[in-house]
């Protein structure tokens, strides 16, 4: 499966299933949907529970980092969370932005939007909203966000370049993002790279780390820095579904790496090309 719309529909279907599962069920699988590991093995998720504003019912265990920890959110900020799921990062961002802040979560899975809205209603958070939409065409106006966060989402999007363009559009001049994502060093074995299930499982949709950082730079961002990086280890009982013994040995030789990185970057305060260049 290589058609962008088919891949997006697959992701939507899988994450609709995830929305109905418990965190424990999600964490026992490769990236949330389906039991593809015989171990209860949380491959990617970092522990959110010590962050202020954490709401356990909104944590589905689907992330690969802690972008809101590094996002430098200030009181009164407008924050957008891309692929907001059940609202976990939005609620932590709200704690940082305070009552005067505004938090907008965007997700293209209706079941996730419904779950997040229910959570916000139960918590009484009037300054947190969730919008159904595609992050390649965000349902927000230009130059409105102070901060963008995202957790293990861009690797699921076929057109990553267009997401970075959209991020640049919606950030205010001088605004910034902190996003956690999955990237590669070296080429994945073909069986992993082509399998649609592994795409929805956050692995085969990832791109090379150098390409990822280059896309950020080419879309006009500056002050780019990696705030955190960690290796992601896929259990053998998952890999054995895709690789023979020789391919498995080669994959584990050290020439191929799968990493979670949290990246920070800023939109320039001035564009230097007239009043419309930041739109």
> What distance in Å separates the CA atoms of residue 108 and residue 134, rounded to the nearest whole number?
5
Dihedral sign for Cα 106, 160, 93, 40, please. Answer: positive
Spatial CA neighbour of 202 closest among 181, 221, 223 = 181
CB atoms under 10 Å from CB of 46, counted, come to 18
Supply the pLDDT for residue 6: 65
Task: Report yes or no: 245 and 77 within 8 Å, Cβ to Cβ.
Answer: no
Tell me how long the chain is.
279
Q: Could you tell me which CATH number the domain at 4-266 has? A: 3.40.50.150
Residue 30 makes CB contacts below 8 A (sequence gap 6+) with 36, 37, 43, 198, 201, 202, 203, 234, 238
Q: How, if at all, do strands 257-266 and 171-185 pair?
A: antiparallel
Q: How many CA atoms lie within 13 A of 164 on its CB side?
A: 23
Give the DSSP per-residue string, 184-225.
Answer: EESPPPHHHHH-HHHHHTTSTT-EEHHHHHHHHHHTT-EEEE
Task: Report yes or no: 157 and 125 within 8 Å, Cβ to Cβ.
Answer: no
Over its length of 279 residues, how does the chain's per-residue pLDDT go in tens digits? 457 676 666 666 676 676 666 555 554 444 444 444 433 234 667 888 889 998 988 888 778 899 999 999 999 999 999 999 999 999 999 999 999 999 999 999 999 999 999 999 999 999 999 999 999 999 999 999 999 999 989 988 888 999 999 999 999 999 999 999 989 898 888 777 766 555 445 566 788 999 999 999 999 999 999 999 998 887 787 788 888 888 888 888 877 888 899 999 999 998 555 444 555
> What distance in Å separates the CA atoms of residue 220 and residue 164, rounded to the nearest whole number?
9
Instruction: Return the domain boundaries, the chain.
Output: 4-266
Burial class (CB in 10 A: 0-12, 13-18, 19+), 170: buried
Strands (E) in the chain, as ranges, are 78-82, 102-107, 128-132, 145-151, 171-185, 207-208, 222-231, 257-266
What pTM was computed for the model? 0.85
Spatial CA neighbour of 3 closest among 158, 156, 154 = 158
User: In degrees to the nearest 10, what's the CA dihedral of 126, 130, 135, 137?
Assistant: -90
């Amino acid at each position: 499966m290589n058609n962008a719309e088919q891949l997006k529909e697959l992701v939507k279907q899988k994450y609709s299933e995830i929305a109905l599962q418990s965190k424990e069920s999600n964490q026992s699988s490769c990236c949330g949907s389906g039991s593809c590991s015989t171990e209860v093995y949380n491959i990617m998720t970092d522990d959110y529970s010590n962050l202020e504003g954490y709401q356990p019912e909104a944590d589905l265990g689907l992330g690969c980092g802690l972008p809101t920890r590094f996002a430098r959110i200030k009181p009164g900020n407008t924050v957008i969370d891309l692929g907001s799921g059940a609202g976990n990062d939005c609620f932590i961002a709200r704690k940082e932005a305070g009552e005067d802040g505004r938090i907008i979560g965007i997700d293209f899975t209706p079941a996730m939007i419904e779950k997040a809205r229910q959570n916000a209603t139960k918590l009484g958070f009037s300054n947190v909203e969730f919008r159904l939409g595609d992050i390649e065409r965000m349902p927000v106006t230009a130059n409105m966000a102070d901060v963008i966060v995202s957790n293990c989402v861009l690797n699921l999007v076929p057109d990553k370049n267009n997401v970075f363009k959209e991020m640049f559009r919606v950030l205010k001049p001088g605004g910034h993002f902190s996003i956690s994502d999955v990237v590669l060093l070296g080429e994945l074995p073909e069986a992993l790279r082509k399998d649609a299930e592994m795409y929805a499982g956050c692995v085969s949709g990832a791109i090379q780390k150098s390409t990822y950082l280059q896309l950020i730079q080419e879309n006009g961002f500056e002050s780019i820095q990696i705030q955190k990086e960690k290796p992601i280890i896929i259990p053998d009982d998952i890999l054995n579904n895709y690789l023979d013994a020789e391919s498995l040995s080669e994959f584990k030789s050290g020439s191929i790496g799968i990493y979670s990185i949290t990246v920070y970057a800023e939109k320039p305060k001035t564009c230097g090309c007239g009043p419309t260049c930041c739109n």
